[in-house]
Amino acid sequence: MLRFALLRILSAIPTLFLVVVLAFLMVHAAPGGPFDDERVLPPENARNLAAAYHLDESLPRQFARYVSGLLKGDLGPSYHYRDHSVSELIGAAFPLSLQLGSLSIAVALVVGVSAGVIAALRRNTVSDRLITGMAMTGISVPVFVVAPLSVLVFAVELRWLPASWSGGASGWRYVLPVVALSLPQIAYITRLTRASMIETLSSDFVRTARAQGLSLFSIVRFHALKPAMLPVVSYLGPAIAAALTGAVVVEIVFGVPGLGQLFVRSALNRDYTLVLGVVVFYAALIIVLNLAVDLLYGFLDPRIRNP
């Protein structure tokens, strides 16, 4: 297991390098620059800015400069937010995205697994069809429709919940963004759990257990659930990636100052260092999380552990 983890971490390094190269090239290929504006800068000012931020150096030199900073853990100064460094900006934005992301996945797991189990147990009844129908809707209605609609209904019309993010410190402001973000995940997990549970329930050892007189409830609780969860666990990797995409929309609609929103702004501002910083950070995050998920999978499925 340890060897496995170490190997994965090692192979992550060339991946990260590839990520940095791609992002660097793309960001510099884009027309415009971090200091371009409708009020065109006089040439001397433009020169001074370029010198201060090393934009007058050749691309390979800028790249080398960036990478050597990266190796020391320095993501550089933000080109757009001139008072702050990239690490500070990411450090301020990330916890929020983390909170939203983990809450939404937690909610999705709880609701999705429960719904999936119920649907599996009551297969082909009304409740099952209802649940699967709702799950299907959850996948099909995009986040950027759900989010503004929910603001309109719950915040502006009914005034039950805050309209957006920094309105007060209450935990209530989490509700709409987390729900919007978790809906598609709930839908997927429900379907996965249901399918997987149905399969597990028809497997031999479960049938044996039933024949021995064990109640359905205890079978599910103690024997069927763990193996049925395997596909859900392996889905967690893509789920996290999906949460990232959905997060951008949710952050923009609700005005949450998270990492997704920071990224979009930095791309539009041509804030080279901030763009690179967010991309590298996210890539590293995905790698670490996928590793964690794989380890969890291995832990849950003895067949993998001892092939």
Partner 1 sequence: MPGGIVSFALAVVCLVLGACSANDADDAQTLHRGIDAEPESLDFHKARSTAAGDVQRDLGEGLTGYTSDGEFVGRAAESWEISEDGRDYRFSLRRDARWSTGEPVTAEDFVYSFRRLVDPATASFYSQSVIDIENAAAIVAGEKALEELAVTANGDYELHVRLARPTPYFLALLTHPSMFPVHRASVEQHGDAHARPGRLVTNGAYTLVAWELGSLVELRRNEHYWDNQSTAIDRVRHHFIPEPAVELNRYRAGELHITDNVPPEAFARIREEQPDELRVAPYLNVYYYGFNLTRPPFRDNLELRRALSIAIDRHALTENVTGRGETPAWSWVPPGVDNYAERQLPYASMSDEERKAAARRAYRQAGYSDHNPLKVEIRYNTSDTHQRMALAIQSMWREVLGVETTLVNEEFQVLLSNMRAKEVTQVFRSSWLGDYNDANTFLQVMLSDAPSNMTGYSNEEFDSLVQRAAEQTEPERRRTYMEQAEAILLADHPVIPIYFYVSKHLVSPQVEGWGDNVLDYHYSQHLSLSPE
Partner 2 sequence: MRGLATAGALRQVTGGAAVRVSAGILIVITIAALFGPSLSSHDYFSMNLPERLEPPTLDNARFFGTDDLGRDLFVRTLSGTRVTLLVAIVASFVSLVLGVAYGAVAGYAGGKVDAFMMRIVDALYALPFIFLVILLMVAFERNFLLIFVAIGAINWLDMARIVRGQTLSLKEREFVAAARLIGVPPVVIVFRHIVPNLLGVVVVYITLTIPQAILVESFLSFLGLGIQEPQTSLGALVNGGVSHMERAPWMLLIPASLLAVVLMSFNFLGDGLRDALDPRLKGR
Site residues, partner 1 (CB under 8 A): 30-33, 35-45, 47-49, 51-53, 77, 80-84, 88-89, 92-93, 96, 99, 102-103, 106-107, 109-110, 113-114, 117, 151, 155-156, 159, 162-169, 171, 174, 221, 225-226, 229, 252-255, 257-258, 261-262, 268, 270
Question: Quick one: 34 or 246, whose CB is closer to partner 1?
Answer: 34
Report helix, strand or coil for 163.
coil
- Contacting residue, 15, 45, 166, 170, with partner 2 by CB under 8 A: 15
173 C-beta neighbours (distance < 10 Å), count? 20
Distance CA 305, CA 294 (A): 11
Of 229, 235, 201, the closest CA to residue 216 belongs to: 201
58 C-beta neighbours (distance < 10 Å), count? 8
Residue 82 binds which of partner 2, partner 1, none (CB < 5-8 A, kind-dependent): partner 1
Contact (CB, 8 A) for 214 and 207 = no
Q: What φ, ψ does residue 203 adopt, rounded to 5°?
A: -80, 165
Distance CA 53, CA 22 (A): 21
Q: Is 41 in the site for partner 2 (CB under 8 A)?
A: no
Q: Is 279 in the site for partner 2 (CB under 8 A)?
A: yes
Closest approach of partner 2 to the CB of residue 230, in Å: 9
Question: Quick one: 12 or 282, whose CB is closer to partner 1?
Answer: 282
- Contacting residue, 92, 107, 141, 225, with partner 2 by CB under 8 A: 141
